[in-house]
Structure 1
């Protein structure tokens, strides 16, 4: 490995040190987001894919307090029809506003073959990420629920944390590489090889792990934590490569590639796999059942195949002066964190999702426990997907203007009401088989919850884009995205632990007149063990409703007295107050 020379991250520095652009070093997703299945209680809901901060043209008039010639900034305008000098001559005599508008105009050139290939490459690379993430954050919690208690599921839920914490090691990925291989391929190739190897190794004993997960809970958690960490590291490198793979005018398509690739892989591992893995689904349609080991071997082969293909893809060498140093990036992050308004916003993010934390973490697990088929859940998620796309478009239009946090604040109320409705749905869940009318109600709740979540995400993303210092936009956006993701990730462990802690369940053996308090009665495996003893599990108090009530009350109080008042104050803060320097 080689370290690069210091630079001011995440912007690119040219030899003459005059022209500076806002070039993000990495971009969080953070996944799994906005177009992620928020209606499903998977922890991918907390992984949001943040929009990249575009490179900002610097025009010939004063911008944010500096003018051309004031040190390290100079004129830099994107042109498409005329040359730079010709366009400036044509703009002579116009006002500053008219000149800026004129210079920003030009013919929209067709996408080059190089960019089209780059888009295909990015989609495939993001697809590889989606395979392990869809399993770790989507399918496995539902499969493990049949054998584990909620406390044990809480341990497995820790596997989702690395994707929300990748900012901590992203400067290392940006700074260390083999020049002979390429800055990004130096990380992507080994990460994908290790991901494929690890998934193949797990697949050899997948059925044993899934049949007796309680005996292997720590091994399972460690293995999937490693997979998510590797996927997060690959994501950092792919995000950075996207900034140089695509031309300037097509750079916004990078987030589109991330959405398409990541969500396709995620849905294949979650929605499609859950349906094909269901025994009742395979019997109904007369198709072979897809086992976890077989699917993981398929994912491993895909990872190896893409890695071999990547060996023949040439990575353009970075120009001189574009190197980043680890120390400078961490220094920039620290300077951002010292800003008072950033500290308030990050604290707001950490507790913004507490109101529906129980609903996201445990509601659909409870529904499956009460008889909802996994294939029915997969259908609900599949129906929800196009509505998420529409919600993203609505959120984008609604977040325009000087009040981008307005949809974020308004969406608090439907999300809290839907969390309450989900709790009541679990309470009144009918005995299977489920009627078409009740299943339709579940789909409506899923769609509405996802729609509200996507609208809220659009508002907060627009606000991040507005306040991020363009000089350090990539680091700024990634930092804010990290706290946004953590707000949905950290409560999950405590919610699942709380469900077991507040639950009182007993195994009543009627023939012998015994009543035994058994914590394992909260899992399907424990209930089956009680049945084998001639008893019956009776839940005297379900901790899910207590945890859900606590979250709803905390959410309601915080929204009224803290979230909305604080958001209004932050929204009124001038953009200059958010600048690092």
Structure 2
């Protein structure tokens, strides 16, 4: 592996050329007309760890280093190699050239049966994650909104945080495994069993939790926090497995699998479940109402069934032969974090979603095609293009959603307004899917397979944090900026009591029991929405898009850690 311009890797601290281990000769020469790929070994942060990554070679430096006796260092390096390796090193294309070759070649090469099976497997594994996430982030808060204030909902929203903090235990998932089972299956199998078991346990008391949430808010939060934690752990293993399941030219479709699987599971647990859970919907179509208990039991059985199916799928031996200690992976992760480009990308993620955060956190409480497009769109030399373009429609749709809430008519709703709601919801979901698929494809492209699960999880952590850390403050802010009173009319007088609880359905019901009526003088939702959208527009123009363009132009070598 040659040096890059910023890190004169071939020279040791003493100034002498660093001796390298000779590379093993290829068992079979490359076929004529096919890209040459040598079975090179790459070291991670500690030289004792070696892995055979499927990534192309590191680009060669344009600066020629020389040894103390004046001999060009490139010749010193090549002298340690065999004849075949010297020819391959001399004629080898740069990492970005080779990656571009695979990008364009993959666009015309038909997908293999192995990759098709891998895509189906990944979609199903990500689907299992979508089930609990759709409940924790969508359906359950929606069902609780009639009984709790936004401040109480903020407590439950903390259940989503483990999915954003999984980086802290991802090195354990990457390093500890049972070779007889497989590096990734050692974690996927038990996590899915636990996910199914937790859902089954919650189902026994789910109706009581939903009908009397104020009494069980902390127990309910703990239960779903545990569920999200186990789902996040399964996600770490699946992300790492995706890097080796798919061939090099089809790696961008790993992000597509995640988009389709997660969104499908989320859609089933949120939109589909809420529709089937509605008494009016069930009555209109003459079908039994789907209770939360029944749906949890269905998800539990599905998780168990997929786990049994995985027992018959063999994980490649090469992904289970590497023995990486937990200390080594944490050390490597720290080296990754120290990369300036990674720091910039993580900062970009932390503030990229604030523009529509009020919409995501509150609007939905008031009222597979995109993933495939994002995967294909991200295969060129500008993988962040869909992520950047989707900023503007998402900000515009956040404004439209806020105006929709403001002008929401009293029932019955006209067909025209209903059509507008459907179009707005579909467009918002499509834009979000495009952006998610684009950034996930970029993560797959730059991640180092040496610590694939940890690297992908590190980047995904900050992506998720960008959508979770503002949520608590947004929900709190609604109550903070809202001004409401409970006006109680008595004989000969009218009593007006300031009550922030009048903002929630629970508060309105409490006021009505006292014979009063809630009057909202100022709804903090619109203030918070305006603040988020203004911050979003400013950050997109002056930081998000310019920074994203610089990051996607960097060579892959800038995202790797070398010993």
Alpha carbons of 1:70 and 1:142: their partners in 2 closer, same or farther (altered >3 Å)? farther
1:78-227 matches, cutoff 5 A: 111-112=112-113, 119-227=119-227
1:284 deviates by 0.7
From 394, 414, 420, the equivalent of 1:441 is: 420
Could you give the per-residue CA deviations for residues 210-247 of structure 1, whole angstroms, max 9, x where no partner exists? Answer: 00111111111110010011011112223334455566
1:271 deviates by 2.0
C-alpha separation in 2, matches of 1:575 and 1:520: 53
C-alpha separation in 2, matches of 1:258 and 1:72: 45
1:570 deviates by 4.6
Q: Any unmatched runs of 5+ in structure 2?
A: 1-20, 26-37, 45-52, 65-73
C-alpha separation in 2, matches of 1:472 and 1:448: 36
C-alpha separation in 2, matches of 1:204 and 1:190: 22
Number of residue-to-residue matches in the alignment: 503
TM-score (norm 2): 0.77
Whether the aligned pair in 2 keeps the contact of 1:395 and 1:455 (CA below 8 Å) is no
Whether the aligned pair in 2 keeps the contact of 1:391 and 1:454 (CA below 8 Å) is no
Q: Secondary structure at the match of 2:136?
A: helix
Check if 1:294 corresponds to 2:273. no
C-alpha separation in 1, matches of 2:214 and 2:116: 47
Counterpart of 1:554 in structure 2 is: 535
Alpha carbons of 1:73 and 1:502: their partners in 2 closer, same or farther (altered >3 Å)? farther
Whether the aligned pair in 2 keeps the contact of 1:14 and 1:322 (CA below 8 Å) is no
Counterpart of 1:538 in structure 2 is: 519
C-alpha separation in 2, matches of 1:161 and 1:72: 53
Alpha carbons of 1:509 and 1:393: their partners in 2 closer, same or farther (altered >3 Å)? same
C-alpha separation in 2, matches of 1:64 and 1:322: 33
Alpha carbons of 1:529 and 1:71: their partners in 2 closer, same or farther (altered >3 Å)? farther
Whether the aligned pair in 2 keeps the contact of 1:394 and 1:455 (CA below 8 Å) is no
Q: Which has the higher contact order (CA 8 A, sep 6+)?
A: 1
Check if 1:519 corresponds to 2:500. yes
1:459 deviates by 5.1
Could you give the per-residue CA deviations for residues 135-177 of structure 1, whole angstroms, max 9, x where no partner exists? Answer: 1122111111111111111111111111222222111012222
Alpha carbons of 1:347 and 1:310: their partners in 2 closer, same or farther (altered >3 Å)? closer
1:546 deviates by 1.2
Q: Any unmatched runs of 5+ in structure 1?
A: 1-12, 25-53, 76-83, 368-384
Q: Secondary structure at the match of 1:580?
A: coil
Whether the aligned pair in 2 keeps the contact of 1:22 and 1:55 (CA below 8 Å) is no
Q: Secondary structure at the match of 1:510?
A: strand
TM-score (norm 1): 0.74
Whether the aligned pair in 1 keeps the contact of 2:255 and 2:441 (CA below 8 Å) is no
Q: Secondary structure at the match of 1:177?
A: coil
1:151-550 matches, cutoff 5 A: 151-243=151-243, 254-318=254-318, 322-367=322-367, 386=369, 388-389=370-371, 392=374, 395-396=377-378, 400-401=380-381, 404-405=383-384, 407-457=386-436, 460-461=439-440, 464=443, 475-511=454-490, 513-550=494-531
Q: Secondary structure at the match of 2:147?
A: coil
Larger radius of gyration: 2
The Cα RMSD (Å) is 4.1
Whether the aligned pair in 1 keeps the contact of 2:276 and 2:282 (CA below 8 Å) is yes
C-alpha separation in 2, matches of 1:302 and 1:516: 51
